[in-house]
Structures are given as structure tokens and as C-alpha cells.
Amino acid sequence: MELWQVPLLFSRLPMFPFFDLAHYVASVMALKEQRGAVEVSVQSPVACWFSAMLYCFGGSVLSSLMLAEPPVAFLAKGANILLASSVWYLVFYCPQDIFYRCFAFLPLRLLVAGMKEVTRTWKITAGIEHADSHFKDAWLVMVAVGWARGAGGGLISNFEQLVRGVWKPETNELLKMSYPVKVTLVGAVLFTLQRSQYFPIARHNLVFLYTVFLVVSKVTMMLTRSATSPFAPFEAALGHMFFGLQKTPSKVKGEGAASSNGSPVCDRSSSEQHQDGVKKRQSKKTE
């Protein structure tokens, strides 16, 4: 094997047991870190399981809905469901919380997070191919379905929260995109351009480069505890050029700095804790 063959071999990597497993571990652990999730796991294991499945298979559910295919199709993949359910059981109900504590150990956490990012590339390309088989050359549909497949858990988070009795209409992933949702959108655009042959690069090279970027940026963000998106300067430039926005860049930086004091390893927890705090104060006063 020579060095130039690495991307080709990498793009043939099977996802099934190990990378999928890492995706389930990272997703279910992110769920457990949501405020109120542990209470739900005690109150109703069924709601907790359903919520965990939406975290693990949200992209599949959302892209099925978009293409009018059965959204329950993911339940037919027995081995994946069994794997995800075992992870869910171990993360939430393992005695002494051993499983969660074990994977919360930073090096293991980094490994799992890195492997999860690899599955993102595979999901985006699968979504784009799926969309292309339904609508010939409809590049906007390809971008939308690729994005939905890759970032599904985030995009349906409002409805996933509803399963757990939480409802936060004042925000959603379109109004305030998190970094994973943004980078998936960029990926969906790149792979759509590549497939439409507007982007002169071999597919396996793009797969390799995009995945490396995903993994490196994720690991860097976890290590430096920074929430600043690498896209912030581009966004500021684009926002200024096309939408006449001026204040956004400084605002984004401010937020990044603020949340870097908290626990930046999990994606959305700090802002959620703040909002929950506000709600609690509200409900105390109104009672």
C-alpha cells in the first residue's frame, strides 16, 4: 500500500460495527448530559429509549420524512437497533454509572467523538445519493437531504425534546445553528457540487479531506474548550457582503468566550442550563 491509496481505502471503510457504535455512544452520552434527561430515564424508560433512538437515528428519520419513505424504516435494521439499545441501556442504567464514567474519560471521549465525526461524512454522501435517486439533478434537494441525514439529531431537536416533556420554541437549529449543523451544511454543499461535477475532485479524496477536517476541528474544539466556529470569519464576511450585517462577528466571539468558561465538551448544555434557570425563576414567581 502506498500513501496515495490511503483516501481510496479510507472511503471504502465499513461503518457497521465500530464507527456506528461510537456514534451511538457519543449520541446517547450527549442525551444524558441534557438537563432533565436522567429524571426522564427514571420516570419513563420508554420515553428515554425513544429519545435516545431519535438522537441515534434522527438523520434517518428526518431524511425519510423528506423523501416520503417510511420514517420507521430504521426500526427494521435489527442489528443497529440492538447495538443502539444496548448502548442506551448501559449509559443510563449501568450500576454505579460505570459505562458513562468510563467513556467520559477524556482520551476515550476524544476517540469516540472522532469516530462519530467519520460517520457524518458517510451519512451526508448516503443522503445525497438517496436524494439523487428520487429527483434527478435537483441539487437543492440533494443538499437538503444530505444535510438532514448528517445533522438530523440537531435539526429535529425541538421535537426530540418534546418527547422528554421539554419545549423550547424560542430557539432551534435554524435560528441559531450549532457548529456540527453548520459544518454538515458545508459538507452537503461540497458533496453535492462534487456529484454534479462542478467541483473537480475525486470523490474519495473529498471524503478523505472533509473527514480529516471534521475530526481535527472536533478534537481541537474539545481540547481547547473553545466554542468559536472555524467558520466565524467567513460567516462574518458573507454576512457583511450579502446581508449587510455588521455586528455579528463581535457577537459570535463574545458568545464563544462566554461559553468557554462552562463545560464546552458537550454541545448545547451551557446555553440550555441558562435557559432552564430563567424558566425556573419564572415559574417560581408565577406559582
Q: In terms of CB distance, is 225 or 279 closer to a second copy?
A: 279
**The one segment of 98-106, 121-129, 132-140, 221-229 that binds a second copy by CB under 8 A:** 132-140
- Residue 165 CA to residue 159 CA, distance in Å, equals 10
Q: Count residues contacting a second copy (CB under 8 A)?
A: 60
| Binding range to a second copy, per CB under 8 A, among 121-129, 169-177, 186-194, 261-269 | 169-177
Contacts to a second copy from residues 225-284, by CB under 8 A: 239, 242-245, 278, 281-282
CB of 195 to a second copy, least distance (A): 15
3-class secondary structure for the chain?
CCHHHHHHHHCCCCCCCHHHHHHHHHHHHHHHCCCCHHHHHHHCHHHHHHHHHHHHHHHHHHHHHHCCCCHHHHHHCHHHHHHHHHHHHHHHHCHHHHHHHHHHCHHHHHHHHHHHHHHHHHHHHHHHHHHHHHCCCCHHHHHHHHHHHHHHHHHCHHHHHHHCCCCCCCCCCCCCCCHHHHHHHHHHHHHHHHHCCCCCCCHHHHHHHHHHHHHHHHHHHHHHCCCCCCCHHHHHHHHHHHHCCCCHHHHHHHHHHHHCCCCCCCCCHHHHHHHHHHHHHHHHHHC
Among 21-29, 158-166, 225-233, 268-276, the segment contacting a second copy (CB under 8 A): 158-166
Count the Cβ atoms, other than its own, within 10 Å of residue 69: 13
Which CB, 261 or 283, lies closer to a second copy? 283
Least CB distance to a second copy at residue 284 (A): 9
**Site mask, a second copy, residues 193-232, x = CB under 8 A?**
----------------------------------------
Grid cell of 279 as nine digits: 424558566
Which amino acid belongs to residue 59?
A: G
Shorter beta-carbon distance to a second copy: residue 176 or 274: 176
Choice between 274 and 281, CB closer to a second copy:
281
Window 60-99: contact mask with a second copy (x via CB under 8 A): ----xxxxxxxxxx-xx-x--x-------x--xx-x----
Contact between 171 and a second copy per CB under 8 A: yes
Amino acid, single-letter form, for residue 225: R
Site of interaction with a second copy (CB under 8 A)? 40-47, 50, 64-73, 75-76, 78, 81, 89, 92-93, 95, 134-135, 138, 140-141, 144-145, 158, 162-167, 169-172, 174-177, 239, 242-245, 278, 281-282, 285-287
